[in-house]
């Protein structure tokens, strides 16, 4: 089965007024995604999602031009061969780096979708997994920098929905961060796992100040206090505090995860299937982490495609951590791209979809109705 055509579709929607969550990288004003359609000479069609990289038009252009030219005509089942070709020709050379990783991720997800559809199997079965429960936390663009009382109300709502874990956005000032975590701990009690995410916006001094309080409040992980390249700050913070660090949504390919794991600074890795190199590469990263008894907690990108793929993968590795549920009230990328990607059960868990491939039937009318909006999604 040969790849005959690759097309990227950048899509956007504006976040409704009054629902703009603020976090360490700004205020969310719109959401973006890049969907990737791969067609074959046997008529099997696959869909993937590439992360938008804050410039979805550029990622789509890269896929439609250079990546499509590199990959068209290759064997659609040869995910390793496609990965290696794009890696060698575009990712590791000529400076496109992360953009090429995003583009390759979208193509790789579509090829796994094709493989599943060709044999009628859901992705988790192809990967050696089973339809098992995967624990989820309330995350996505939610629980932002708001006043502690409203944050506590929001957190309570997710616990009522069934979530047993949730993630707060920190990286504001140490005093405000601690006040928010404390308010949520008081609201949800001691049995809920509270995670925090600095979105790369903390200074080493901020981290020194908040760590004792986070330890006392039982924070489960402190995600991305620093930029991914700041290896020394991660090492210093890991020595200082009782709260384990997490990172990975801005780490690309198994090579960057190798450094992260060798440094021994994080206790949780968070590869994003739509950023780090697709299913193919995230399975390799999961194996690297498994050898160190570290769990994989994929960062969730934007649409039901990425969500479905992440749950399949978590149901297929021996070191699954959390699935990041997207709890935004209004999220058509989650709900309308192609069916509901997951449902939360009473224990706060989700299961992989049972349809062939990723199990998402993309509605192209939805894509046509949500054309690209240029500009940054956080301001
Ligand atoms: Mg994060």
In tens, the pLDDT along 116-174 reads 999 999 999 999 999 999 999 999 999 999 999 999 999 999 999 999 999 999 999 99
| Residue numbers of the domain that contains 209 | 125-350
Ligand 1 centroid–CA 166 distance in Å is: 12
Q: What residues contact 183, with CB distance under 8 A and at least 6 apart?
A: 148, 149, 151, 152
Span from the CA of 115 to the centroid of ligand 1 (angstroms) = 30
User: For 206-225, what is each residue's pLDDT tens digit?
Assistant: 999 999 999 999 999 999 99
Average pLDDT over residues 349-357: 98
pLDDT at position 80:
98
Distance 262 CA to ligand 1 centre (A): 21
29 lies in the same domain as 149: no
Which CATH number do you get for residue 279? 3.20.20.120
Q: SS3 breakdown of the chain: % helix, strand, coil, rounded to 5?
A: 40, 20, 40
Expressed in angstroms and rounded, the spacing between residue 199 Cα and the centre of ligand 1 is 5
Task: Report the distance separating Cα 280 and Cα 374, nearest Å.
Answer: 30
Is residue 232 in a domain?
yes
* pTM of the complete model beyond 0.85: yes
- Whether 377 is in a domain gets the answer no
Structural domain includes residue 319: yes
355 in any annotated domain:
no
pLDDT score at 18: 86
Going from the Cα of 197 to the center of ligand 1, the distance in angstroms, rounded, reads 6
How many angstroms does the Cα of residue 374 sit away from the middle of ligand 1? 23
| Residue 379 included in any domain | no
Distance 46 CA to ligand 1 centre (A): 28
88 and 231 co-located in one domain: no
Same domain, 333 and 297: yes
Asked if residue 81 belongs to a domain, the reply is yes
Share of the chain above pLDDT 90, in %: 95
Is the pLDDT assigned to residue 96 strictly greater than 90? Answer: no
- How far apart are the CA of 249 and the centre of ligand 1, in A? 6
How far does residue 243's CA lie from ligand 1's centre (Å)?
16
CA of 25 from ligand 1 middle (Å) equals 10
In a domain, 217, yes or no: yes
Let me know whether 151 and 8 are in one domain.
no
Q: CATH code at 53?
A: 3.30.390.10
Residues 68, 182, single domain; the answer is no
Give all strands (DSSP E) within the chain, no chain letters: 3-14, 22-23, 26-27, 30-40, 45-50, 134-139, 165-169, 193-197, 219-223, 245-247, 268-269, 295-296, 323-326, 349-350
Task: Note whether residue 168 is domain-resident.
Answer: yes
**29 CA distance to ligand 1 middle (Å):** 17
343 Cα to the center of ligand 1, angstroms: 22
pLDDT digits (tens, 9 = 90+) for 240-283: 878 999 999 999 999 999 999 999 999 999 999 999 999 999 99
Q: Tell whether 58 and 197 lie within a shared domain.
A: no
Number of domains in the chain: 2
| Residues within 5 Å of ion ligand 1, judged at the Cβ atom | 197
Whether 115 and 145 map to the same domain: the answer is no
How far, in Å, is the centroid of ligand 1 from the Cα of 90? Answer: 26
Cα(287) to ligand 1 centroid in Å equals 22
Which tens digit of pLDDT belongs to each residue from 279-333?
999 999 999 999 999 999 999 999 999 999 999 999 999 999 999 999 998 999 9
What is the rounded distance in angstroms from the CA atom of residue 233 to the CA atom of residue 265? 10
User: Could you tell me if 138 and 65 lie in one domain?
Assistant: no
Q: Quick one: pLDDT at residue 242?
A: 84
Residue burial 59-95, b: 16+ Cβ < 10 Å; e: rest: bbbbbbebbbebbeeeebbebeebbebbbebbbeeee
- Percent of the chain at pLDDT exceeding 70: 100
The DSSP bridge partners found for residue 193 are 165
**So what's the pLDDT on residue 41?**
98
Same domain assignment for residues 241 and 313: yes
Identify whether residues 311 and 184 lie together within a single domain.
yes
- On the question of pLDDT at 95 being above 90, the answer is no
- 173 and 312 in a single domain? The answer is yes
Q: Average pLDDT in the 49-77 region? A: 97
Q: Do 248 and 115 lie in a common domain? A: no
């Amino acid at each position: 089965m040969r790849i005959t055509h690759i097309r990227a579709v950048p899509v956007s929607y504006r976040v409704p007024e009054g629902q703009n969550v603020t976090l360490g990288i700004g205020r969310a004003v719109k959401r973006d995604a890049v969907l990737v359609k791969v067609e074959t000479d046997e008529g099997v069609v696959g869909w993937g999602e590439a992360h938008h990289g804050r410039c979805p038009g550029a990622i789509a252009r890269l896929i439609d031009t250079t990546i499509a030219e590199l990959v068209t005509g290759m064997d659609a089942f040869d995910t390793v061969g496609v990965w290696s070709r794009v890696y060698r020709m575009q990712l590791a050379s000529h400076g496109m780096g992360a953009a090429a990783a995003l583009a390759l991720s979208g193509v790789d997800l579509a090829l796994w979708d094709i493989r599943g559809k060709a044999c009628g199997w859901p992705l988790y079965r192809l990967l050696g997994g089973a339809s098992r429960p995967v624990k989820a936390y309330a995350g996505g663009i939610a629980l932002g920098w708001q006043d502690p009382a409203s944050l506590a109300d929001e957190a309570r709502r997710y616990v009522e929905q069934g979530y047993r874990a949730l993630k707060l956005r920190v990286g504001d000032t140490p005093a405000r961060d601690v006040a928010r975590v404390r308010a949520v701990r008081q609201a949800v009690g001691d049995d809920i796992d509270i995670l925090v995410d600095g979105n790369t916006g903390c200074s080493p001094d901020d981290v020194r100040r908040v760590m004792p309080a986070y330890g006392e409040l039982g924070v489960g992980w402190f995600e991305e206090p620093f930029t991914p390249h700041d290896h020394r700050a991660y090492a210093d913070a890991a020595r200082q505090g009782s709260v384990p660090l997490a990172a990975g949504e801005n780490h690309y390919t198994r090579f960057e995860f190798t450094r992260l794991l060798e440094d021994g600074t994080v206790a949780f890795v968070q590869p994003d299937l739509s950023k780090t190199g697709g299913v193919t590469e995230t399975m390799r990263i999961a194996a690297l982490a498994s050898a160190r008894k570290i769990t994989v907690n994929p960062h969730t990108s934007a649409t039901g495609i990425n969500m479905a793929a992440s749950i399949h993968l978590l149901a297929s590795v021996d070191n699954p951590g959390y699935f990041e549920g997207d709890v935004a009230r209004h999220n058509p990328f989650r709900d309308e791209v192609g069916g509901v990607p997951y449902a939360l059960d009473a224990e706060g868990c989700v299961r992989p979809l049972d349809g062939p491939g990723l199990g998402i039937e993309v509605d192209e009318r939805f894509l046509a109705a949500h054309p690209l909006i240029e500009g940054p999604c956080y301001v």
